[in-house]
Every structure is written in structure tokens, then in C-alpha cells.
């Protein structure tokens, strides 16, 4: 699924890193800030890397069990989930080299940049990068 904008109604796309979704689903200390961002955006205007699905499912399953993890994935599935393709893979490799990012951070960042989405995160490794809103 490809996020779309039209010339007459430009929609600002956003992306939320795993750290933000995990805060939201575990009711962590930053959950209210992420909730405000999530609720102020239509689900289709939230670009979610498939890597985020993996990380959120794994963490929530470990902390709260499989049922809660599947509910989290169901919520994320309402957003625009973006698979990793060749273009995003190569962009991620370039960002990894340029900013010394780990594999998953590079893929999440590349996905957000590819779709010109502002990335919301609490991950210190992503904090100094362009188009990142650190919470």
C-alpha cells in the first residue's frame, strides 16, 4: 500500500518508531504524548515499517503475552504498513553508513524518509536526524 497525497489536499504523513508504539501499548511514561500524536492523525496517514510490526509484537509478547501482542499488531495494521523493498533496503544501508545506525533503526528511518514522513521516536540513536521528532 502506498501513501498518497493530492495536489489539492496535501496530507502530512507521520511515522512512529517502535519505541513510541511500545510506550503507547504498555502505558509507559511517554504514552500520553504518543497518544496525542496518534489520535491527531488518520491511521492511513501513519506510515509503519514492517520492522516496527516485528519489534512491537516481540516486545509486547514478552511483556504482556501473545494476545496483547496480537491486539497491538491489529492496531498497527490499521496504519499504512510498508514492506521492505529494494529501494528502502538500499536507502537504509546508506543511512546506516552515514549515521552509524543499527539495521532496524536504519530501515525505520529510511521508510519514513522515503515517504517524506516525520518520524516520532524516543530512540536516542535517531534523535539527531532530519525529520525526527524526539519525544
The domain made up of 14-40+57-134 has a fold known as Rossmann fold (3.40.50)
For residue range 61-111, what is the model confidence (pLDDT) as tens digits?
Answer: 999 999 999 999 999 999 999 999 999 999 999 999 999 999 999 999 999
Of 66, 108, 74, nearest in space to 91 by CA? 108
User: Average per-residue pLDDT in the chain?
Assistant: 93
pLDDT at 1: 53
pTM above 0.95, yes or no: no
Please report, for residues 9, 60, 61, 68, 108, the alpha-carbon distance to residue 112 in angstroms, rounded to integers and kept in the order given: 20, 23, 25, 26, 6
pLDDT of residue 8: 38
The number of angstroms, rounded, from the C-alpha of 7 to the middle of its chain's C-alpha atoms is 25
* 77: nearest Cα among 105, 55, 50: 50
Q: What is the pLDDT of residues 23-72, one digit of tens each?
A: 999 999 999 999 999 999 999 999 999 999 999 999 999 999 999 999 99
Parse the chain into domains and list their residue ranges.
14-40+57-134
Amino acid at each position: 500500500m502506498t501513501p498518497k497525497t493530492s495536489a489539492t489536499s496535501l496530507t502530512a504523513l507521520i511515522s512512529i518508531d517502535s519505541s513510541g508504539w511500545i510506550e503507547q501499548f504498555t502505558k509507559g511514561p511517554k504514552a500520553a504524548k504518543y497518544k496525542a500524536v496518534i489520535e491527531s492523525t488518520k491511521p492511513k496517514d501513519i506510515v509503519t515499517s514492517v520492522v516496527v510490526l516485528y519489534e512491537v509484537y516481540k516486545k509486547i509478547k514478552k511483556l504482556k503475552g501473545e494476545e496483547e501482542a496480537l491486539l497491538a499488531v491489529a492496531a498497527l495494521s490499521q496504519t499504512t504498513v510498508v514492506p521492505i523493498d529494494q529501494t528502502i533496503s538500499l536507502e537504509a544501508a546508506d543511512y546506516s553508513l552515514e549515521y552509524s545506525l543499527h539495521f532496524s533503526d536504519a530501515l525505520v528511518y529510511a521508510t519514513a524518509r522515503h515517504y517524506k514522513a516525520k518520524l516520532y521516536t524516543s530512540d536516542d540513536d535517531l534523535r539527531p536526524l532530519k525529520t525526527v521528532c524526539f519525544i
